[in-house]
Amino acid sequence: MEKLISKLTEKHILFTASFVIRLALVAYGDYQDRTMAVKYTDIDYHVFTDAARFITEGESPYNRSTYRYTPLLAWLLTPNIYLNMVFGKILFIVCDVLSGLLIYKVLCLRGLRAETARCVSSLWLLNPLPMGVSSRGNAESILAALVLGTLLCMERRAQRLTWAALLYGLSVHMKIYPVTYALPIALTLRTAEIRVDEAKKVSRFKKLVGFFVGFFNQDLLLFASVAGGVFFTLTGLFYYMYGWQFLYETYLYHLTRRDIRHNFSPYFYMLYLTAESTWSQWLGLAAFLPQFALLLVTSWMYYKDLAFCCFLHTAIFVTFNKVCTSQYFLWYLCLLPLVIPNLSLTVKQGLGLLLLWFAGQAIWLGPAYFLEFEGYNTFLWIWLAGLLFQVVNCFILIQIVTHYKPTKTPLRLKAE
C-alpha cells in the first residue's frame, strides 16, 4: 500500500513539477518581454494573437500576413483577446504536459514498468527544449498531443479505433505531415495475408489480389471514413468561411514551399540558385523522390511497430524536406521517448549521438549567423554545413535502426 502511494505521489510530483516549471517560464517570459530589448515570446505567438484579433472583429485570420495555419488555431486563441494574452501559452504548456502523460501511457501499454515509463517520460517532461518552445508561444505541443493521442488509441484499437481516427483526422487538418502515417496505419489495420505453406505455390497474381483485398476490411474502412470525415468537414467548413485563401495558406503554401532563404535543408542553396531557371520544377521533383521512396520503404519495413514507424517517418520527412527549420525537430522528438526503451545503445553512445546532432546544428548556425547578422557571403559554407547536417542525421537514424529491438513477440530480426 505504501509502495503504491509512493508511486502515485512520484507520478503526481513529476507531472506537477513539469507544469509548474513551464508556468514559471511563462511568467518569466512576460517579465522579459516587458523589461528587455530581446523578447522571450516567439514572433509566431504574435502572429496567432493578431489572427485571433481579426476573428474577434469578424474578419479572416488570413488578413494577418504570414499566418499559415488552420483557422481553428486562431479560433482557439480568441480568449487571448477576450481574457488575457497569456491564455494561448497556458494552453500550449497544458498540451505539452499532456503529451508527457500520453508518452507515459503508451510506454506502459508497450510493456514497460510504470517506474521505467515515468523515467523515460521525464525525458520529455523535464526537457528544456519543449519547455522553452511551449512557453515561448509555439503551437507544436498541440500537434504532439494529437499525434501521441492517435498512437495511444491505436495501441488500444480494439476499443478505441474511432477515437484514433478522430484524433488522426484532426492532426492532419492542423498540419500536413501526419498524412504520411496513413500508409503504416493502413498496413496495420488491413487483414494480413494468411501465411501459406512454402511448399504450396500460390500465383503471384493471387498474392497481389490478396494483398489489395486485405485493405477492404471493417476496421480500415471505419478509420478511413471517420478520419476522412473529420478532415473534410473541417476543410469544407473553413473553405466556406474563408475561401481560397484558407486552402492556400494552410495547405498549398506548405506543399509547394520553396524557401530560398537559408535554412537547415540540404536543398536550400540548390533551390536558391535555380529559383528562376527552367530546371527548377525538375529539381524540385528530384528532391521529392528520395523522401517519398524512403517513406514507402519505412512504412513497409516497420508498420508492425507503429510508434517506431511514425518516429522514423517524421525524422526522414524532416531530414529530406526542401525546407527545414528547428521547429520541425519537435515533430519527431516527441516520439523519441517511445523508441528509447527499445534501443540497445549504451548511455555513452546515446549521449554521443545527441552531441553529434547538436554539433551538426552548431556547424550550420555559425556561417548562417555571419551571413544574416554580419553580412559576409557564407552561402557556400552554409550549403556544406547543410549537407553535413543531413549526413549526421542519417548516421543517427542508421544507428537507431541498427540498435532497435522491438518489444512485440515473437519477432525475428533479420540480422546481418
Q: Is 387 in the site for other proteins (CB under 8 A)?
A: yes
**What is the rounded distance in angstroms from the CA atom of residue 36 to the CA atom of residue 339?**
40
Q: With contacts defined by CB under 8 A, name the span among 212-220, 289-297, 333-341, 345-353 that binds other proteins.
A: 289-297
Q: Is 397 in the site for other proteins (CB under 8 A)?
A: yes
- The answer to whether 97 and 144 have CB atoms below 8 angstroms apart is no
Nearer to other proteins, 18 or 314 (CB): 314
Q: What is the CA radius of gyration of the chain?
A: 23
Nearer to other proteins, 8 or 297 (CB): 297
CB neighbours of residue 243 within 10 Å: 12
Nearer to other proteins, 270 or 334 (CB): 270
Determine the length of the chain.
416
Which 329-348 positions form the footprint of other proteins (CB under 8 A)? Answer: none
**Vertex 368: Cα angle to 363 and 373 (nearest 5):** 135
Nearer to other proteins, 87 or 302 (CB): 302
Q: State the nearest-atom distance from the C-beta of 414 to other proteins, in Å.
A: 6
Query: Which cell numbers in the block locate residue 31?
Result: 517579465
CA distances from 397 to 144, 282, 319, 330 (A): 20, 28, 10, 16
φ, ψ of residue 343 in degrees (nearest 5): -90, 135
- The answer to whether 147 and 178 have CB atoms below 8 angstroms apart is yes
Q: Is 8 in the site for other proteins (CB under 8 A)?
A: no
Q: Is 267 in the site for other proteins (CB under 8 A)?
A: yes
Q: Is 130 in the site for other proteins (CB under 8 A)?
A: no
Residue 68: closest CA among 254, 241, 201: 254
Nearer to other proteins, 173 or 262 (CB): 262
Nearer to other proteins, 119 or 394 (CB): 394
Q: Is 264 in the site for other proteins (CB under 8 A)?
A: no
- The answer to whether 308 and 406 have CB atoms below 8 angstroms apart is yes
Nearer to other proteins, 271 or 334 (CB): 271
Q: With contacts defined by CB under 8 A, name the span among 7-15, 186-194, 203-211, 282-290 that binds other proteins.
A: 282-290
- The answer to whether 75 and 84 have CB atoms below 8 angstroms apart is no
| For residue 410, cis peptide bond before it (omega within 30 degrees of 0) | yes
377: left (phi over 0), alpha (psi -120 to 50) or beta: beta
Q: Is 42 in the site for other proteins (CB under 8 A)?
A: no
Q: Is 380 in the site for other proteins (CB under 8 A)?
A: yes
Q: State the nearest-atom distance from the C-beta of 333 to other proteins, in Å.
A: 19
Q: State the nearest-atom distance from the C-beta of 233 to other proteins, in Å.
A: 31
Binding residues for other proteins (CB under 8 A): 46, 50, 65-66, 260-261, 266-267, 269-270, 272-277, 279, 283, 286-287, 290, 293-294, 297-298, 300-302, 304-305, 308, 312, 316, 319-320, 371-380, 383, 387, 390-391, 394, 397-398, 401-402, 404, 406, 411-414, 416
